[in-house]
Structure 1
Amino acid sequence: MKENLTDSAYAAGWALVKRLPEPVATRLFDGIADFVWRRRGKSVLRLESNLRRVRPEATDAEITALTRAGMRSYMRYWCESFRMSTWSRERVLASFEPEDVHRLDEAMASGRGAVLALPHMGNWDLAGAWVVVRGMPFTTVAERLKPEKLFDRFVAYREGLGMEVLPLTGGAGTLGKLAQRLRAGGLVCLVGDRDLSASGVPVEFLGEAARMPAGPAALAAQTGAALLPVTLWYDGTPVMKGRVHEEVPAPAEGSKREKVAAMTQAMADVWGEGVRAHPGDWHMLQRFWLADLEPRPEESVLPDPQGVQ
């Protein structure tokens, strides 16, 4: 019953929110964010704890304000996502202004293919739609959600934006298909700043131990594609901002594991700078650092909408 209610809530969001006048939808989701923030549930407390690590010099009042801003940023993601299927090509192009896109254009023009690797910042679906509208269709992966109908809704939503979506688990040869796309000169986009499983790559993130998925670096090292970290943020305007950072090269020497570890750490360093600069737009409402791991289930206000490794 809980799974059916969750699916029904998301179905209602996609069906109803996109029909609201935009100012009404914005106020509604700001109100939801403030309501959840005031209740100080487990996910809000986790976000607050994570932000204290990002900004250890901040006062309690500053962290409180930053957590509220973080919840509003997170709910802005949902508001935009529920409405984006109705946006015109022109609206998508006008809603995102990234810097240094030439790095992506040059990588794709070279025929090498590229891996765009993003943390959970801003609205990664909007960034993806913007890339597609510019004429660069890409492949991504999504973690299976429960209920299955909810997973199907997310897949349909992203496919409607022009993305090819492969299942992270339960799909035949997903990694091989991604490598195939890259070897053909294609583009792969992955959200990859959190993997607390034993297979995650150990990294130092903002001075503390964490783990991140091996996928982005492993694919780039295996295929020769350009590995390009991306950061996203809001600056108080209707337009999201972002940056395509310099390519993370594969080390000339070392084993495959050593190369993947070095490249993943390099991405973590880039993302750490981005998160420190725009902490309110890092949507990390779950445990992230290894020091926070406890033998009890994680709870969140909403499931991770991407779940990409």
Structure 2
Amino acid sequence: MSARERLTDALYGAGWAGVKKLPEPVAARLGRSVADAAWKRRGKGVLRLESNYARVVPDAGPERLRELSRAGMRSYLRYWMESFRLPAWSPERISGGFEAKDIHHLTEGLAAGKGVVLALPHLANWDLAGAWVTTELRTPFTTVAERLKPETLYDRFVAYREGLGMEVLPHSGGSAFGTLARRLRDGGLVCLVADRDLSASGVEVSFFGATARMPAGPALLAQQTGCLLLPVTLWYDDSPVMRGQVHPPVEVPESGTRAEKTSVMTQALADAFASGIADHPEDWHMLQRLWVEDLEPRAPGEERT
């Protein structure tokens, strides 16, 4: 590991070891302080967040965008403070920490034994929503995690999510899709964060009036397994409780090629994500490039960044 990687791993380790021991109000104040300090530095992440918010709220002026980015950084650090503390939360605290509208779409789908894919954008705290599913609904599920550097940091994230009742598959290696399909054919639940895919296999969608790429996986899984595909959006309000919305199922089109069906279904996901992000832009933690025209130029065969 490089010195930078060792430092990153140590900081995350300290977060999981230390923050969970703090009283909740103290952890919340710490998160706001760290968020405000990062926001004042105006680093690349904050500037990118504002640039992304400018697409979501096109009539916002510079002052409004600065307000949004400050609220966005506070929401982002709330996610981290909660995530560091989740392993120490009681089942009662987890169950009381999330309320979802139209959860019947999920429970009825599971009861039918068809398998369900929940697809979410980077809104609020998707880990808390997952912990609520395993705790309140007593339903384990499978998800996919991108391999991080250093490897020890990836191992920390896997152990953290497995401790919350999730089965975690690595994104790389090529076997994740087959495992997800088997879980769904067995009537299981799969949860995927699905609002950013810069790979060559990403599906182009119209997102807030410009072209972005989103992963094809959720739509392909629904086509191949007959599972239910449900978009989910999350948000915070002024209370300690996170809110969520389970949207109606994305249907598989009756006609068209596989690529055409995947395009239509992924666009439907993007539209559902956009509705939730537009209502709560400050809870969308997108500190990276997303839209195609914002991506840096690349040489042939080179990955986008």
TM-score of the aligned structures, taking structure 1 as reference length: 0.94
Could you list the per-position Cα deviations for residues 171-230 of structure 1 after superposition, in whole angstroms to 9, with x for gaps in the alignment? x62111100000000000000000112110010001110000011111111100000000
The CA deviation at 1:59 is 2.3
> Which of 154, 158, 164 pairs up with 1:155?
158
In structure 2, the residue matched to 1:268 is 270
CA root-mean-square deviation: 0.9
Report how many residues are paired.
295
Query: Pairwise mapping of residues 234-273 of structure 1 onto structure 2 (< 5 A)?
Result: 234-273=236-275
Identity of aligned pairs, percent?
64
C-alpha separation in 1, matches of 2:144 and 2:60:
36
Tell me which amino acid in the other structure corresponds to 1:39. R
Moved more, 59-68 or 70-79: 59-68
In structure 1, the residue matched to 2:52 is 50
2:267 alignment partner, SS class: helix
> Which of 67, 71, 75 pairs up with 1:73?
75
1:164 aligns with 2:167: yes
> Which of 125, 128, 139 pairs up with 1:126?
128
> Which of 207, 219, 222 pairs up with 1:220?
222
The CA deviation at 1:291 is 1.0
1:169 alignment partner, SS class: coil
C-alpha separation in 2, matches of 1:290 and 1:173:
28
TM-score of the aligned structures, taking structure 2 as reference length: 0.95
1:178 alignment partner, SS class: helix
Structure 1: runs of 5+ lacking an equivalent: 297-309
> Which of 140, 145, 151 pairs up with 1:142?
145
Tell me which amino acid in the other structure corresponds to 1:70. G
C-alpha separation in 2, matches of 1:187 and 1:194:
21
In structure 1, the residue matched to 2:202 is 200
1:282 aligns with 2:284: yes
Tell me which amino acid in the other structure corresponds to 2:169. L
C-alpha separation in 1, matches of 2:157 and 2:297:
29
C-alpha separation in 1, matches of 2:144 and 2:222:
16
Structure 2: runs of 5+ lacking an equivalent: 299-305
C-alpha separation in 1, matches of 2:94 and 2:132:
6
Query: Which contiguous aligned blocks of 4+ residues in structure 1 show a shift greater than 2 angstroms?
Result: none
1:111 aligns with 2:113: yes
